[in-house]
Amino acid sequence: MRIGYVGPVPPHPGGIAHHGDRLVGVLRARGHDVTVVSWASQYPRRLYPGEAVRVPPRDRAGTRFLLRWWDPLSWVRAGRAVRDRDLLVAPWVTPFHAPALLAVHLAARRPLVVVAHNALPHERMPFDVPLARLVFRRASRVVAHSRSVAREVERLAPGRPVTVTAMPPLIPVGPAPLPPRPPLRLLCLGIVRGYKGFDVAVDAVSRLLARGRDVELTIAGQLWHDAAVWRERVRDPKLRGRVRLDARYVPDDEVGGLLARHHLVLAPYRSATQSGVVPIALAAGRPVVASRVGGLAEAVADGESGVLVPPGDPEALADAVERAGSGLEALAAGTAAHRPSWEAVADAVVAAR
């Protein structure tokens, strides 16, 4: 098929850009002719407090950086650039981009498949429900990575076909041997945002230290807000230097080594539809202690590849870390059964035409 993919890809950071890059690569490997139209300017600064993105000054083979959030004419140009395609594929990133995506679809005049990462944003915004409805109702089909997202899409656009396929790892990593113990090394990985509950992980470590447990926690990722608060938090004398804050965007080529140096990955989200970090951790052979929310409860098999806990409860999280640590080798072995493939995602997208 001739496919037009419209959405963020590297050098844009984050899970959705990596998802697009992996999906496009697999579609091409399976013989499809894929043109990518991406963003030259994706957000106003107030909506994206992370590091500024340097977009290539020229388009590269197979990718055109045409879209600008502030320029409706660029949306039309992007749609015309994929008008010769058989199918239009776009990730649903945020309702902020709904007008641009609708304009691209109207200009392209091609069937639209939406890959829904979140039906609605974690931080709600005005008009997000009607904007999401407009996009989902125009889609020929929606592909989701969790049943919780699929249910939300079906609520917003009743009768719209939805295909659910598990999220594969966003970057290529392989299983690595567990490092020596003690201490038990814990990792929170990803952009530090309130809904991810990394502060709950810090509170859980404080409780574990009070119980006399030998644990260490690394928090690795860009600080979305409250940088000064976070830096002060990890200097708490009660933590005795046991919490390390690596406040930066972690490049892909460092993720495998970072996981290899830790025993457990923590995903103590207060709310979630899914997580790009969880499948990466499982692919690296690292069990995950995660909140029982949204798609996390689907991605982590409780007692097999990790442990599930109630959200927002540091005491329960501390207990779960102890359980996971006591059965670490068995849980690490159990991760091998929970590694979905990109080929399944590509098949779902193409079958949705």
pTM of the model: 0.89
332 vs 125: which has the higher pLDDT? 332
Phi, psi angle pair for 91, to nearest 5°: -75, 145
**Cα-trace Rg, the chain:** 21
Span 282-307, mean pLDDT? Answer: 95
**CA 188 and chain centroid, separation:** 13
Determine the pLDDT at residue 266: 98
Cα(16)–Cα(19) distance, integer angstroms: 5
- Report yes or no: 40 and 68 within 8 Å, Cβ to Cβ: yes
Predicted confidence (pLDDT) at residue 56 exceeds the cutoff of 70: no
- Report yes or no: 165 and 340 within 8 Å, Cβ to Cβ: yes
Distances (CA, A) of 47 to 13, 43, 67, 135, 349: 15, 6, 17, 21, 29
Tokens found for residue 352: 């949705």
Over the chain, what is the mean pLDDT? 92
Is the Cα dihedral 313, 194, 221, 173 positive or negative?
A: positive
Predicted confidence (pLDDT) at residue 40 exceeds the cutoff of 70: yes
DSSP one-letter code for 263: S
Q: Show the domains of the chain with their CATH numbers.
A: 2-164 (3.40.50.2000), 184-337 (3.40.50.2000)
118 vs 27: which has the higher pLDDT? 27
Predicted confidence (pLDDT) at residue 230 exceeds the cutoff of 90: no
Span 14-28, mean pLDDT? Answer: 94
- Name the residue among 219, 227, 199, 187 with its Cα closest to residue 50: 227
Determine the pLDDT at residue 44: 86
Predicted confidence (pLDDT) at residue 57 exceeds the cutoff of 60: no
